[in-house]
Copies of this chain bind each other. A is one copy, B any other.
């Protein structure tokens, strides 16, 4: 092992926080960890939520009006987290709202290529609304993402 390179600090510079609509305990803790790390290492923080609209009507019988309400709720949730991050002294915070398709694929195929995070922070209970795949997204991202993933509890 190369002792020199192995002892170099490993610092994340672009942190992607996934949130859902619920202010669950793990969501809140994920947010706290993300802003702590972004603050202390001067990283850029992206805060993302995803509205899966592909099969939304089938699964929840939502009318267009209700879908739009969901969209606005999600946008507001992201904006609220961005605002709190900025109030906490962060200068580089980006709201990211995506729509459509499968949640995992949206993150893997669109959000990651767009935002280029080196770390994804997700709450252990984070579940995107109306996801076709049951369960939380963290462990799945931990398995499939090409970058580091922390599941916060």
Residues of chain A at the chain B interface (Cβ within 8 Å)? 1, 3, 5-11, 23, 28-29, 31-33, 35-36, 39-40, 80, 84, 87-88, 124, 138-140, 142-143, 145-153
Contacts and interface: CB of A to CB of B under 8 A. Distances in A.
9 smallest beta-carbon distances between A and B, as pairs: A139-B143, A10-B32, A150-B150, A142-B142, A10-B33, A9-B36, A139-B142, A142-B151, A1-B23
Contacts of A124: 148
Contacts of A9: 32, 35-36, 39
Chain copies in the assembled complex:
2
A138 B140 CA distance: 11
Contact of A1 (B28, B138, B143): B28
A87 B29 CA distance: 32
